[in-house]
Amino acid sequence: MLRVATWSLIVVLALAPGIASAFTHHELIVPNKGIGPFQLGMTAAAVQAARRQAVCGVTATYKDGKVTRLETNCGGAFHTAEWVQVGGGPGRMLWFYGDPDRVVDSSGLDYQAHWMHYNGGIAFRVIYGGYATSLIQAIAVFPGSGRFQVRPAPPPEEIPSIPGVGE
C-alpha cells in the first residue's frame, strides 16, 4: 500500500508544474489583452474554439468581425494577476489600481451599480447591497487608451470600507 501511495505522489508532483502553468494561463484577466483563452482581436470562429477550453463563459462584442470587448461575470473562474475577481469586494481593486478614470452609472430599478473604467483597458461593474456591502459583479477588457498602473505593494489585511459607497 505504501508503494502505491509513493508512486501516486511522484506522478502528481511530476505533473504539478504543467497543471499550475495551465491554470494561470487560462484563467488570467489581462487588461487591454483578454480574459483567459479569449483575446481582443479574435474572430467569431476563434471565440467559439476558445469556448471549448474555457472554464466559464465570456461575452464578446465585435466590430468589423473582430473582438473589441470581452466581459465575464463568472465568480472564481477568472482573475487578474492581483487576484481581483468577480464576487470579490471592490477594496482589492481600488487598492491595486487606484481611483477609476471614469465611473458610469449602471443601476437597475431596485439596485445601485457602477462600471468603474480604467483607461488601461479594464472595467469592473460594482453592485451595491444593503448596509454598505458591495461586490464586483462583472469584469470587462477592451483596448486601452492609456497606461494601466498597478500599485506594487500587497494590500493590507483589512481594507477599509469606502465612504459613501453602497449607502
Share of the chain above pLDDT 70, in %: 75
Number of H helices, E strands in the chain: 3, 9
Mean pLDDT (the chain, rounded): 82
Name the residue with higher pLDDT: 112 or 159.
112
pLDDT score of 3 more than 60: no
- The residues with which 139 forms a beta bridge, in sequence order, are 72, 124
Tens-digit pLDDT profile for residues 130-156:
777 899 999 999 999 987 888 877 666
Query: Grid coordinates 498597478 are at which residue?
Result: 150
Q: Are 38 and 50 in contact (CB under 8 A)?
A: yes
H helices of 52-154, in order, are 90-97
In terms of C-beta density within 10 A (0-12 exposed, 13-18 middle, 19 or more buried), how is residue 114 classed?
A: buried
Grid cell at residue 122: 479594464
Q: Which helix (H) or strand (E) holds 95?
A: helix 90-97
Which cell goes with 158?
A: 483589512
Residue 23 has pLDDT above 60, yes or no: no
- Confidence band (pLDDT; 50, 70, 90) for 10? very low
Residue 14's pLDDT band (cuts 50, 70, 90): very low
What amino acid occupies position 23?
A: F
- Contact yes or no for 122/148 (Cβ under 8 A): yes
